[in-house]
Structure 1
Amino acid sequence: MAAYFVTGTDTDAGKTLVTAGLLALARRHGLTTLGLKPVASGCETTPEGLRNADALALQAQSYPSVSYALVNPHAFAPAIAPHLAARQAGETVTLDALASRVREGLSRHCDLALVEGAGGWRVPLNDDEDLAELAIRLQLPVILVVGLRLGCISHARLTADAIAASGLRFAGWVGSLLEPAFAAERATHDDNLATLARTLDAPCLGIVPRLTGSDPNGMATAASAYLELPHDNRS
């Protein structure tokens, strides 16, 4: 099994679209898949309990099928930083407990497992621990989703430096177009991508354009057309 931690340059960088797209691509290659979203805020109340749209998108791309509780063991209603949402719910998410739940998922031994973080690399879990420590604890190589907008080069390089400082392998990066204006001037757009390719010490796994739609499965399939699997999962 190959497992990766997916992080982003910031909140709403396109992590879920890329993660679901990679899982959809792996399924198209006949691989078994698992998408995990260990902590999610901004969840909605349903008859089955709190549900997060991003976690549901990853659950839909997991094959064989898995329970929601396995995909997203810590779900919180407020759409705020996870440690603040947990505090409002009267809970504390610890690294030990989170790592244990993720290991439970990874024990399924599928061909490709992707663990999606929340926000950027150093989003807090509690007052003393953050999500980057989960990737370090589990020794997962990291895929970075770069939200393509003004300022993304610095954000991407700073995140890449932090990944390197953690001792984890930087397995690849994906550009996710967030602002149409970023691509409006073609020469500048290409120069920005060239700078990212030159300065990020990892292969580019794709550039995903801005996609629109309301069907998560359709969005994942659309994104998969612009992606390549990490090296460990290429046939």
Structure 2
Amino acid sequence: MKAISLFVTGTDTEIGKTFVSCALLQGFCARALRATALKPISTGAQLHNEILHNEDADLLFNASNIVLPLHLSTPYMLRKPAAPHIVAAYEGVSLDIAHIVACHRAAEQLADIVVVEGVGGVCVPLDDMKDTADLAISLQLPVILVVGLRLGCINHALLSAEAISTRGLMLVGWIANIIDPDMEFSTANVEAIQQRLDRKYSAPLLGTIPRIDSQRADEAARYIDIDTLLERMRGLLTL
């Protein structure tokens, strides 16, 4: 059977995309699936033992049970922690989407499920013409939206969902991640987003993750409806 694959994006940077991606991987591994991840473009990489490493990419690596070589899992490792198109231009790197697609195809041959984590939000530029949505389109993947719960999250979630839909991508579901534990009316915010994304995009809420230590993705996985997600993803394979 063809591997299941999905694209994880977020309402902003620093809202828990990697944390949620790791939680998804932990959930898939717990169901005896061969699970792996791609972080095709990472910024803020540092040199360790003569090898470039990125913290997010390393977390995804550790949450997977299928180990990919770095040239497949993170084909573009950029050093400066800034927008990828700016850093790529600064470092003289061309972000080739076709190359990322080839890496993803290779990963699909090795696993039952592949989680691809985008960089920043859905409209983050990759060069003068392409953005993160173009990458998801080229990969032909359904999208999971991670919504960081903090002031302004309703607007950010609805704008992101509209951008995903407008670009012809399928929003297969969304996950709320509490990043501000002191946020007032967090439940009301989740309900407001849920009502609108369900009605307009048929995109279910797959879980609300409370404030958890960022190293405990296994615990976060308990708050995600992994089985519903898998059912929806498998249904897409039959279309």
Please give the TM-score of this superposition, normalised by the length of structure 2: 0.89
Match of 2:69 in 1: 67
Structure 1 residue identity aligned to 2:44:
G
RMSD, aligned α-carbons: 1.6
Match of 1:14 in 2: 16
SS in 2 for 1:176: strand
Q: Aligned partners of 1:146 and 1:230: how far apart in 2? A: 20
SS in 1 for 2:125: coil
Match of 2:101 in 1: 99
Structure 1, unaligned stretches of length 5 or more?
Answer: none
Kept after mapping to 1: 8 A contact 2:84/2:126: yes
Residue 51 of structure 2 is aligned to residue 49 of structure 1: yes
Q: Aligned partners of 1:46 and 1:190: how far apart in 2? A: 42
Structure 2 residue identity aligned to 1:142:
V
Alpha-carbon shift at residue 48 of structure 1 (Å): 4.2
Are residues 230 and 71 of structure 1, via their aligned partners in 2, closer, same or farther at CA, if it must alter by over 3 Å? farther
Q: Aligned partners of 1:95 and 1:6: how far apart in 2? A: 16
Match of 2:194 in 1: 197
Match of 1:136 in 2: 137
SS in 2 for 1:123: coil
Alignment coverage as a number of residue pairs: 226
Structure 2 residue identity aligned to 1:136:
I
Match of 1:208 in 2: 209
Larger deviation, residues 147-156 vs 125-134: 125-134
Are residues 230 and 166 of structure 1, via their aligned partners in 2, closer, same or farther at CA, if it must alter by over 3 Å? farther
Structure 2, unaligned stretches of length 5 or more?
Answer: 235-239
Residue 168 of structure 2 is aligned to residue 167 of structure 1: yes
Q: Aligned partners of 1:53 and 1:230: how far apart in 2? A: 28
Larger deviation, residues 123-132 vs 91-100: 91-100
Match of 1:229 in 2: 226
Match of 2:217 in 1: 220
SS in 2 for 1:223: helix
Q: Aligned partners of 2:140 and 2:32: how far apart in 1? A: 26
Kept after mapping to 2: 8 A contact 1:7/1:121: yes
Equivalent residues in 2 for 1:141-152, closer than 5 Å: 141-152=142-153
Q: Aligned partners of 1:228 and 1:180: how far apart in 2? A: 22
Please give the TM-score of this superposition, normalised by the length of structure 1: 0.91
Larger deviation, residues 162-171 vs 117-126: 162-171
Structure 2 residue identity aligned to 1:39:
I
Q: Aligned partners of 1:90 and 1:164: how far apart in 2? A: 33
Deviations 1:180-213 (A, max 9, x none): 121xx4xx22211110110113111111112225
Alpha-carbon shift at residue 232 of structure 1 (Å): 5.3
Match of 1:85 in 2: 87
SS in 2 for 1:210: coil
Deviations 1:69-110 (A, max 9, x none): 2211100111101111111211111222222222222232x2
Kept after mapping to 2: 8 A contact 1:5/1:115: yes
